[in-house]
Amino acid sequence: MRLFQGFSSQLLRGGLFALIMVTAATAAKAVQIQTVTGASGVEAWLVEDYSAPIVTVAVAFEGGSAQDPEGKEGMADLLSTLFDEGAGDYDSKQFQSRLDRLGVTLQFSDTRDRFFGVMRTLRDDRAAAFDMLRLSLNDLHFDEDSIRRMREALKSRIAGDVNDPTSKASDALRASLFGDHIYSRPPSGTAEGLDAISREDLVAQFGKLFARDNLHVAIVGAIDATEAKAMLDKVFGDLPAHAELRPVPDAQMHFGGRIDVQSSSPQASVTIALPGVRRNEPDFFAAFLVNQILGGGTFSSRLYDEVREKRGLAYSVGSSIATYEHGAYLIADAGTRADRVGETLSIMREQIEKMAREGPTQAELDAAKKYVIGSYAINFLDTSSKIARALVTIQTENLGIDYIDRRAALINAVTLDDAKAAARKMLGGEPTVVVVGSGNS
């Protein structure tokens, strides 16, 4: 069976890589970006695409849950639930019914550092869809009943996590890594914080965060530059000119020590946290490739091979880099049996320490580069919605309008010495270890 699994994995890797490279070449040719600016000064990146009668608009506003006032944690999450809860002449049910009749998708969400929104519509319904987006950003009702319902829904979700071992572990890890920094707070807030938020708080916070000078826009689909400019003025032109963001300091992160979380489940999890690299740091791609080799590759990482394939210790294992505007960390985690925690943790630490000491091989680095370059298109550029989201993310990270064209060169420029230095930087210190499971062996 193990021989068959290995053979299947190699076939899958080869076939998937071939598909990725074809998709990458097709998608790269399709993304021709132009800058359009409305009379109001609002700017957007536009990709005209008439292959389907669809228009997608993606937006991002700087300032997410890190802007929640102290004692009112959860305000960003609560705000993000209200964008379809009534605006203009439509109450909550009417607004949502109109979206359904038009076939318009309108979604908002928040992260630590930003709010994101995506609207998708058929070209024939674009005028009505743009008007619905305008209303959601300029004339929200902040209806007391909607606020109450959304607050209770969020509190119910928080209550469901109270006794969840994984949620407990995440809370403990976050508190350990970030200390008294604002990132240590629960991203979804607390029940007490949600209860403390009034309608007046939400209206005031909305006015502070949603403004033209902290707005990023991407438009993809069957729409030309002239119409896109008019849409920018119609939808965003009446927003306040300037946002009022509270400065957020860079996090002074803390690593080392062990956190044990008890669980009655026969399954357990192991998480190892180490310093990461932020997106704006010059060695980001070196770090990204090291992570790909360590545990980011689905079927071809060291952790997968050593922990799962060779020893069968885990049903899932991998690593990733969590990047925020003011901090970053790498986590390697595995799901295993409670009675195999010790062995799993030992092998994971052994592989991490080996990577820190020796770095990757040239062959591993070359393979990681090929995969990371090729997979970008299939992950981010194969639909209009993905392209719009990718473009607005590129804007928020200040990567430049030519980033998609430059990305492969930036990755290929990473040398073996660069990768080894990034491995030492991220993996050379004492990690924070979190174990969830009965016995915590």
Domains of the chain: 32-236 (3.30.830.10), 255-436 (3.30.830.10)
Helix (H) or strand (E) holding 108: strand 105-110
Q: What is the pLDDT of residues 263-309, one digit of tens each?
A: 888 889 999 999 999 999 999 999 999 999 999 986 789 999 999 99
Asked whether the beta carbons of 209 and 67 are under 8 A apart, the reply is yes
Amino acid identity of 334? A
Residue matched to tokens 């071809």: 300
Residue 247 identity (one-letter amino acid): P
pLDDT at 204 over 60: yes
Torsion of CA 52, 382, 316, 172, to 10 degrees: -90
pLDDT cut 70: percent of the chain above it = 92
Rounded to whole angstroms, the Cα distance separating 269 from 261 reads 10
Burial code (b: 16+ CB inside 10 Å, e: under 16) for 99-119 equals beebebebebebbbbbbbbbb
pLDDT of residue 440: 65
Q: What is the pLDDT averaged over residues 338-351?
A: 95
* pLDDT above 90 for 441: no
pLDDT score of 163 more than 90: no
pLDDT tens-place string over residues 136-149: 999 999 999 999 99
Spell out the residues 6+ positions from residue 370 whose beta carbon is closer than 8 angstroms to its own. 17
- For 424, the token pair is 């030492």
Q: Is 92 helix (H, G, I), strand (E, B) or coil?
A: helix
- Quote the tokens at residue 406: 């430059």
What is the Cα–Cα distance from 301 to 317, expressed in whole angstroms? 10
Question: Length of the chain, please?
Answer: 441
Given this model, what pLDDT does residue 164 score? 83
pLDDT of residue 224 exceeding 60, the answer is yes
* φ, ψ dihedrals at 62, nearest 5°: -65, 140
Overall pTM surpassing 0.85 (yes/no): yes
Three-class DSSP category at 224: coil
Whether the per-residue pLDDT at 171 is higher than 70: the answer is: yes
Q: Which band of pLDDT confidence, cut at 50, 70 and 90, is reported for residue 93?
A: very high
How far apart are alpha carbons 168 and 263 in whole angstroms? 10
Task: Return the residue matching tokens 């572990």.
Answer: 169
Q: What pLDDT is attached to residue 134? A: 98
Half-sphere exposure of 44 (CA within 13 A, CB side): 31
Residue, of 25 and 113, whose pLDDT is higher = 113
CA 232: distance to chain centroid? Answer: 25
- Phi, psi for residue 280 in degrees, rounded to 5: -90, 5
**Which amino acid, one-letter code, is at 429?**
G
The torsion angles phi and psi of 183, rounded to 5 degrees, stand at -70, -15
Please, what is the average pLDDT of the chain? 91
Q: Are 57 and 119 within 8 A, CB to CB? A: yes
**The pLDDT of residue 31:** 84
For residues 293 and 281, what is the distance between their CA atoms, to the nearest angstrom?
A: 20
What was the pLDDT predicted at 258?
Answer: 96
Q: Tokens 């930003």: give the residue.
A: 114
Better-scored residue on pLDDT, 267 or 236: 236
Q: Is the pLDDT of residue 22 over 50?
A: no
Kindly indicate the confidence band of residue 26, based on its pLDDT and cuts at 50, 70 and 90: very low
Bridging pattern class, strands 432-436 and 258-261: parallel
Maximal CA-CA distance, the chain: 65
Rounded CA-CA distance 141/352 in Å is 52
Range from 25-39, 85-99, 227-241, 405-419 carrying the lowest mean pLDDT: 25-39
* Residue 248 near residue 70, CB atoms below 8 Å: no
Task: Please provide residue 57's backbone torsions phi and psi, each rounded to the nearest 5 degrees.
Answer: -120, 120
C-alpha to C-alpha distance for 124 and 222, rounded to whole angstroms: 10
Report the C-alpha gap between 108 and 44 in whole angstroms: 18
Sole residue written with tokens 């990034």:
422
pLDDT computed for residue 30 by the predictor = 59
